[in-house]
Chain A
Amino acid sequence: GAGVSQSPRYKVAKRGQDVALRCDPISGHVSLFWYQQALGQGPEFLTYFQNEAQLDKSGLPSDRFFAERPEGSVSTLKIQRTQQEDSAVYLCASSLAFAGVGNTIYFGEGSWLTVV
């Protein structure tokens, strides 16, 4: 596609509910990233995929967060038993090359999650 596509754009979840957020990166992009952006803050790194391999998941806040990219294209970020502190915008980004110094990354519009 022309850009990084994310769905749903908006999600309201009840506390304790599981959610799944989808990211469709730019076609052919090797690298895929998930970031979490709280209101009024900058994006914070969650996890990184190179093709289907999850090379870094050090930013995932807890074991309730899980991400996958089974075929090296579409990725899903799953949050189990959502808590109010999970409310944030979840941004997916992709990059053409293997992640390295100074690559340009392209962000999707984000999935706005509100946990009530």
Chain B
Amino acid sequence: GQQVMQIPQYQHVQEGEDFTTYCNSSTTLSNIQWYKQRPGGHPVFLIQLVKSGEVKKQKRLTFQFGEAKKNSSLHITATQTTDVGTYFCADSGTYKYIFGTGTRLKVLA
């Protein structure tokens, strides 16, 4: 079946450094959504990408959808301690929402 992998699995950064997580699907994605899950919390919707090559920004967060719609990335500029958590991508092309393996981000003050 479809697999959605994310790299890296873990990332520790100093506060102020940039961070990027990559999401790769074994099949072409219709849409992709990104979620953030704080430690002990639940996934919270961040954004959805639909078009090939689409780039969306939310303050310090930049989301990109690959040209072939098989990969996506989330880049955070100048990380803050509030960015701590696990970031998941999800194939939202069907209602089953196939979630990626997640990237756990730790920000060291």
13 other A-B residue contacts (CB within 8 Å) besides A43-B43, A101-B93: A41-B101, A42-B99, A42-B100, A43-B88, A44-B99, A56-B95, A56-B96, A100-B95, A101-B94, A104-B45, A106-B45, A108-B42, A109-B42
Number of A-B contacts (CB under 8 A): 58
Per DSSP, chain B at the interface is loop
Please name the 9 residue pairs, one residue from A and one from B, whose CB atoms are nearest each other, closest first.
A99-B95, A42-B99, A107-B42, A102-B31, A45-B96, A102-B92, A43-B99, A107-B43, A42-B102
Q: Given the complex of chains A and B, what is the CA–CA distance between A102 and B65 in angstroms?
A: 14
Interface size on B, residues (CB 8 A): 25
List the A residue with the shortest CB-CB distance to B35: A107
Interface residues on A, range: 20 to 34
Contact partner, B43, options A40, A44, A91, A101, Cβ 8 Å = A91
In the assembled complex, which residues on chain A have CB atoms less than 8 Å from the CB atom of B93?
101-102
Q: What 0/1 pattern do residues 45 to 60 of A give for CB contact below 8 A with B?
A: 1001000000010010
Q: Given the complex of chains A and B, what is the CA–CA distance between A109 and B42 in angstroms?
A: 5
Per DSSP, chain A at the interface is loop
Task: Output the least CB separation between A53 and chain B (Å).
Answer: 13
Q: Are B48 and A104 in contact (CB under 8 A)?
A: yes
